[in-house]
Amino acid sequence: MAEMEIKQKMNPISSLVDVYPYRYVNDDIHFLLLHRSETQIYGGQWRMIGGKVETNETHAQTAHREFMEETGLQAKLKWVVPTINSFFDPQADSIRHIPVFAFECDDYIVRLNHEHDDCSWCNLTDAQEKVSWYEHKRIIRLIHDILRSSGIMKEWVL
């Protein structure tokens, strides 16, 4: 394997982002989950928004662009979640370290793009039951706990 390929596999800078939209319903927090179309990667799974960083784009810009493309919603508040979605991707033979963003929404009417065939606003319990990946379950819980306890630190706000 070429030295450049090895460096790319070990590079901790991610080319991906995760975005967890949420909204308040009465006094409860609901998370937006999107159901992936069968023709897409992760087809048939309920997931958050994910996307690839484009050339000359920051991770925060990517998060905003992907959020808009996949939902058509506006974000009232955008912030960085103080965690990283980390996992080993065997197809790419790489460790993925993906920054996580949370976007608060006022509206709830989603305009799905071609990547998804359904969506659902879910409370904590339902969201954790719908998603398959344990790391997504952990991040949903973390966002919920931050919003319910200490709150969002000003340094996290975009």
Element (DSSP H or E) covering residue 71: helix 59-71
| pLDDT 10s digits, 35-91 | 999 999 999 999 999 999 999 999 999 999 999 999 999 999 999 999 999 988 898
Structure letter (DSSP) for residue 56:
T
Query: 91: buried, middle or exposed (CB in 10 Å: 19+, 13-18, 0-12)?
Result: exposed
Q: Which pLDDT value is given to residue 150?
A: 79
| pLDDT 10s digits, 85-140 | 998 889 888 889 999 999 999 989 999 999 999 999 999 999 999 999 999 999 99
- The CATH class that applies to domain 3-156 reads alpha beta
Whole-model pTM over 0.85: yes
